[in-house]
Amino acid sequence: MSEIIPNVVVSMPSQLFTMARSFKAASNGRIYIGKIDTDPTIPENQIQVYVERENGDLVPAPQPIIINTAGFPVYNGQIAKFVTIQGHSMAIYDGHGVQHFYFSNILKYDPDRLRAALLSDDGANNIHWGDDSIGSVIDQLNLKTESLNDVNLELDGRLSRLDSEIAYSSDFKSLHEWASIDKKHKILVGGEYEINETLIIKCESLSTNGTVVLNVNSDINAIQLGQESLSLLGTLKNNLPKSAISFESYSSFSDGDTIAILDMDNGSYHKSRDYYKKGEFFTVRKTNGDTVFLSNPSNDDYRSGCHIYKINVSNFKKLSGNFIINNKSDNIETRNAAFLIIQAFNAKLSNLKIDATGYSSALILKNCKYVDSVNLSISNRSDGFQLSETDYAVSISNCEYVNLNGFFLSDRHAVAHGGSGHGAPIVNRFCNHSGTFATSGLGLVQAADFHANTENCSFSGYMNGVSLGGHNNSITRSVIDMPNNLRDLPAITGAEMKSINHDISFNTIATNGNPDSIYRGVIDFGGNSHSYNEYSDRNGMLKINNNYIYCFNAKTGVRIINRGSQATTVLNLSNNFIINDSNSVTSIRVEVATGANFRAAVITGCVFTPGTKPDISGCDEIIN
C-alpha cells in the first residue's frame, strides 16, 4: 500500500459567527467585506463577495451578508459558503448594529493567486533557496548548459574547418603549428602575438581577420611564404643568342618546367657588384631529343656552359590583410624582412597593409615572376632607438614582371630593384610600379631605386627622388621632388648605370635646395663615380623629353658627365622647360671627364628661363 500523507482537515465550509464577549450567536447580525485596511461598511471600500454553489458556480452576493439566528451566514435564508478572490477586511455587527469584530486583512495569503504566480514563466523566482531564488539557480544551470552547447558547437565548427581547405590560426595551439599544416587557404586571426622563430606559412592564399600585430624578439624574418628551392639540371650545349626560343642540352627536361639560365662564372651583369649575374627565367614549352623549346625568347645572349637550374615554384598565389610587425632586435643590417616571398609565380597582392618597424625591408620579393598588386600600403621605419635606418619598404630581388601599386615609405628607398648571390641571381626585368614612393630622408638617398641589374622597368606617380641605374628603364608622367632634409640632393640621379639608355619624359621635377653645392644638377648623371662610367658598356639613347624642371635654388638643371664609358650614345634633351629664378643657372651641362664623346645632343624645343644657357661641350654634334 502506497504511503498516505494527510494534509486536508475535514471542517465546515460555513463558519459560526458569535458575540465578542459571550458564546452566543450573533443572530440577525451583519458581515461587511471590503478592501484591505479600509472600513468595509462604506460602499466605496467594499469588494465583490460570491456564493459558491455545490457545482462550483459563483454567484455574486450583495452586502452586508446576513447572519441567521443560529449564527451562520445565509443567502436568501439558506446557509451558504461565501468566498472572495482576494484578501480583504471584515467587520461583524450584531442585530443592534454594534460592532463586535474588525479585521484589517482577513487573509494574508491568496492561495489561488499564489498558485497562478508559481505557474507563471517567472514562478521559480518566487521560491527562494538560501540567498538565491530557485529561478536564479535554474538560470545559472541553463547558462552552464548553454556554455557547454557553445563549446560543443565551437568544437564541431573547428572540426569542420579542420576538414576543409581553410585553416584559422585560432584553431591551433600555436602559430607555428598553424603555419606548418598543409592547407590551401590560411587566415591569421587578428590579435597581438610574440614570435621568436620565422613563421614559414604553407598555403596558396593568406589573409587576416582583423589587424595582426607581431612582436619579433629575435633577428629573423617574421613571415615567409615559399621556400628557396632550385636544382642544377645541367649546362648549355652551345651558345644561346639573344631572342632565341630553343637551346641544346644533354640534360633531361619536362614540359612545363620552370628554369633559369645563369652565367654564374664570368658573366657578371655589372662589375660594380660581382653578385649581379646575367640570367633570366624560362618555361619549357616542349622538348625534342636534346632540343628544349622555350615559351618566350631570351632577353640576353648566353655562352655554352652556362648553368641551367630547375626552379621549384612556390604554391603561394594570394596575399591580403593588415599586418603590424615590430622587430625588437637592434641589428637592422642583417637584411631580414618582415615579409619574405620566395619563388612565387602568378601571384596577386591586394588590399595589403604592412607597417614594419626596425627591419631592413618590410617586404622582399625574391626570385618571383608575374606578381601583380593593387592597393598596397607598405612602410618600414626605425623605432628611434636602433643604430641605423631601415633600407626598403619593398625590395625586388632578382624578379621579372612584378607590378606594384600603392603607397610605399622607408627611411631609405621606398622600392628598390636589386638582388643577391643567393638562389637564382637573374636580372630584374619588366617590373612596373605606380603610386606614391616616399622616403623619410634618414638614409640620404632617393625613394625610387634601380640597381645595375635592372632593365625594362618603370616608375610613375609621386616620388621623393629617383636613383636610376641598369639599362632601358623609365620614369614617366610623374611628380618628382625631394623632402626638405634632402633638399640639396638631385631629384634624379644616375647610379650603377649599365647604359645611358633610359627614358625620363612628361614629368614635373624639382628640388628646393642647391645640388650644385655638391657639384650636382637637379637631374644628374655622372656627378659621382658610380654613375656613368667604364662599367656602362651598352650603347643607347638617353631621353629627357617634355619635362618641367624647376631649379630655383640650383645652379644646374641637367648635368651629364661621362666618367669612362666607351659606349656609343645619343642625348635627346628636347622640349623641356627649365625654370629658375637666377641668371647664373646653367640649364644643361654635358661634358666628358674620361671615355668617349657623346655622339650627339638634341635640344630642339627646349625653353630656358631668360639668362640661362646650356653648356654642351662633350658632344660631337649639337642639334637645336
The yes-or-no verdict on residue 605 having pLDDT over 50 is yes
Selection from 578, 566, 573 nearest residue 533 by Cα: 566
Q: Which helix (H) or strand (E) holds 352?
A: strand 345-357
pLDDT (average), residues 183-206: 96
pLDDT (average), residues 419-428: 90
pLDDT (average), residues 41-54: 90
pLDDT (average), residues 540-565: 91
* Cβ neighbours of 611 (radius 10 Å): 12
Per-position b or e across 79-97, b if 16+ CB within 10 A of its CB: ebebeeeebbbbbbbbeee
Name the 3-class secondary structure at 159.
helix
Note the pLDDT tens digit of each residue in 525-551: 977 666 888 888 899 999 999 999 998
d(CA 495, CA 106): 108
pLDDT (average), residues 361-366: 97
One-character DSSP codes across 200-234 = EE--SEEEEEEEEEEEE-SSS-SEEES---EEEEE
Cα–Cα distances in angstroms (integers) from residue 11 to residues 8, 14, 15, 31, 79, in the given order: 9, 9, 9, 21, 15
* Residue 130 binned pLDDT confidence (cut-offs 50, 70, 90): low
Selection from 496, 468, 473 nearest residue 558 by Cα: 468
CA torsion, ordered 532, 298, 347, 393, to nearest 10 deg: -10
d(CA 329, CA 332): 7
Residue 367 · residue 391 · CB < 8 Å:
no
Main-chain phi, psi angles of 436, to 5 degrees: -115, 130
d(CA 287, CA 285): 7
Name the 3-class secondary structure at 58.
strand
Of the candidate ranges 70-74, 268-272, 420-424, the one whose mean pLDDT is the lowest: 268-272
d(CA 230, CA 248): 20
The yes-or-no verdict on residue 517 having pLDDT over 70 is no
Cα–Cα distances in angstroms (integers) from residue 314 to residues 82, 105, 311, 318, 344, in the given order: 94, 89, 9, 11, 5
* Cβ neighbours of 537 (radius 10 Å): 15
Q: Which helix (H) or strand (E) holds 137?
A: helix 134-163
d(CA 418, CA 232): 23
Q: Residue for cell digits 619635362?
A: 547
* Residue 11 binned pLDDT confidence (cut-offs 50, 70, 90): very low
Which has more confidence, 581 or 305?
305
d(CA 209, CA 525): 47
Residue 317 confidence (pLDDT):
97
Selection from 92, 108, 89, 94 nearest residue 34 by Cα: 89
d(CA 524, CA 589): 10
The yes-or-no verdict on residue 12 having pLDDT over 70 is no
Strands of 239-336, DSSP E:
246-248, 258-268, 277-288, 291-294, 307-311, 318-327
Residue 386 confidence (pLDDT):
47
Mean pLDDT of the chain: 86
CA torsion, ordered 190, 191, 192, 193, to nearest 10 deg: -70
Of the candidate ranges 106-115, 240-249, 369-378, 507-516, the one whose mean pLDDT is the lowest: 106-115
Q: Which helix (H) or strand (E) holds 136?
A: helix 134-163
* Residue 520 binned pLDDT confidence (cut-offs 50, 70, 90): confident
The yes-or-no verdict on residue 367 having pLDDT over 50 is yes
One-character DSSP codes across 374-426 = EEEEEEEE--SSSSS---EEEEEES-EEEEEEEEEEESSEEEEEE--SSS--P
Cα–Cα distances in angstroms (integers) from residue 166 to residues 193, 206, 207, 578, in the given order: 21, 10, 11, 58
The yes-or-no verdict on residue 255 having pLDDT over 70 is yes
Residue 83 confidence (pLDDT):
87
* Residue 9 binned pLDDT confidence (cut-offs 50, 70, 90): very low
Q: Residue for cell digits 630553343?
A: 246
Note the pLDDT tens digit of each residue in 67-108: 888 888 888 888 888 888 888 888 989 888 888 888 888 765
Note the pLDDT tens digit of each residue in 495-512: 999 999 999 999 999 987
Q: Residue for cell digits 610623374?
A: 478
* Residue 25 binned pLDDT confidence (cut-offs 50, 70, 90): confident
* Residue 1 binned pLDDT confidence (cut-offs 50, 70, 90): very low
Percentage, residues of the chain above pLDDT 90:
56
Main-chain phi, psi angles of 176, to 5 degrees: -70, -35
Bridge partners (DSSP) listed for residue 324? 213, 355
Cα–Cα distances in angstroms (integers) from residue 84 to residues 61, 89, 111, 477, in the given order: 10, 11, 12, 97
The yes-or-no verdict on residue 161 having pLDDT over 80 is no
* Residue 109 binned pLDDT confidence (cut-offs 50, 70, 90): low
d(CA 108, CA 473): 99
Q: Which helix (H) or strand (E) holds 152?
A: helix 134-163
Of the candidate ranges 435-439, 515-519, 537-541, the one whose mean pLDDT is the lowest: 515-519
CA torsion sign for 295, 299, 305, 306 is negative
Residue 540 confidence (pLDDT):
94
CA 497 to chain CA centroid, Å, is 37
Residue 525 · residue 559 · CB < 8 Å:
yes
The yes-or-no verdict on residue 8 having pLDDT over 60 is no
pLDDT (average), residues 49-75: 88
Which has more confidence, 327 or 144?
327
Residue 196 confidence (pLDDT):
92
Which has more confidence, 620 or 390?
620
Q: Give yes or no for a cis peptide into 64 (omega within 30° of 0).
A: yes
Q: How many residues does the chain have?
A: 624
Selection from 568, 567, 566, 576 nearest residue 614 by Cα: 576
